[in-house]
Amino acid sequence: MVDHETIAERVNAGKSFVDVEGFQFDNADGTDDVNREAESTQDLLARVGGYLNRRSFMGTAAKAGAGAVALGSLGAGSAAAYDEASDVDILNFALTLEHLEAAYYNQFLEENDEFDIEASESLGAKFADPQLQFSTWQELVAIRDHEEAHVEALTRTINDLGGDPVEPAEYRFPYEGLDEFVELSQRVEAVGTSAYAGAGPFIDNQDVVAAALSIHSVEARHTSFFGAYLPASSMPNAFDPARDMSQVVGIVSPLIVSE
């Protein structure tokens, strides 16, 4: 299994997250009749999110000893409503979120300047320490750079594994002013963090799990960074629940306006 240090070394060397030799491509080779090349961003989110939700539901029902009843409650045809999703599909689901985050911060940094950010009562001026105040812009740039690095590494890995990386879409980010930017940023990062936590248990390849966890912890740091600007605690829980994929799709989909 590839450890976190090796993952960073591979990415910095321009390689995939995982060693593609011997990687089992599961059902993402076209044998399940899903046209992945023509699949829209929204369709990808719905298909993979639905698959993960179904697996989670079935696993919970089985643990409760109610497998037959639970499967029956899905309704005729419901279990087949989503095609199987491979590890590569789950990486594409993650890439969809990373594209959105990268576009979000790029747009913000293009529309705002360093002085305004660091003088703002919503961001830089919250800090009494000048060193912290006047590094706010650089921290936001670093977060954007992280998201772009995630996009690049995920895209390269999906390509090397023979998949079709999802393309960025057009987005609409509903915030006005820096107060709302901070609130939306914390929410976007929290969604990303909990999405990795929710998908992680359903990834089969352990190297892909390690790669996903290496991103998950960075997204958690981003969430805490923005949480520090808000009145509530930036780390309220000792244990965070994984977000249900339908919740992830429900939050992300309205931000995607075209494909």
Reference 119, options 111, 105, 130; nearest CA is: 130
Q: Does residue 237 lie in a domain region?
A: yes
* pLDDT exceeds 90 at position 26: no
Q: Does residue 44 lie in a domain region?
A: no
Name the pTM for this structure: 0.80
User: What tokens does 79 get?
Assistant: 């279990």
**Cα–Cα distance for residue pair 96/93, rounded to 1 Å:** 5
**pLDDT tens digits, 86-113:** 888 889 999 999 999 999 999 999 999 9
**pLDDT tens digits, 120-176:** 999 988 888 888 889 999 999 999 999 999 999 999 989 888 888 999 999 999 999
* pLDDT exceeds 90 at position 236: no
Q: Does residue 238 lie in a domain region?
A: yes
Q: Does residue 202 lie in a domain region?
A: yes
CATH code of residue 89: 1.20.1260.10
Q: Does residue 43 lie in a domain region?
A: no
Per-residue DSSP letter, 125: G
Domain span including residue 175: 4-38+85-258
Percent of the chain at pLDDT > 70 equals: 81
Q: Does residue 73 lie in a domain region?
A: no
Q: What is the DSSP string of 150-213?
A: HHHHHHHHHHHTT--PPPP-EE-----HHHHHHHHHHHHHHHHHHHHHHHGGG---HHHHHHHH
Let me know the angle formed at the C-alpha of 153 by 12 and 193, rounded to the nearest 5 degrees: 110
Number of domains in the chain: 1
Place of tokens 């499967």: 71
Amino acid symbol at 197: A
Q: Does residue 208 lie in a domain region?
A: yes
Q: Does residue 47 lie in a domain region?
A: no
Percent of the chain at pLDDT > 90 equals: 40
